């Protein structure tokens, strides 16, 4: 069973955490508050 995890403002810290979760089989969603980074 996989879990979906969301990160708001993925960056230096959230990016590696998200990658680790994906490698573990979880679904990851990201949303950046900065319009230019979307």
What does the pLDDT look like over 1-38, one tens digit per residue?
Answer: 789 999 998 778 888 999 999 999 999 999 988 877 66
pTM: 0.72
21 secondary structure, DSSP code: H
In terms of Cβ atoms closer than 10 Å to its own Cβ (0-12, 13-18, 19+), residue 5 is middle
Count of structural domains within the chain:
1
What is the residue range of 22's domain?
4-37
Write down the pLDDT at residue 12. Answer: 86
């Amino acid at each position: 069973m996989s879990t979906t995890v969301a990160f708001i403002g993925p960056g230096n810290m959230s990016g590696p955490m998200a990658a680790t979760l994906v490698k573990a089989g979880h679904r990851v969603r990201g949303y950046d508050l900065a319009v230019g980074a979307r």
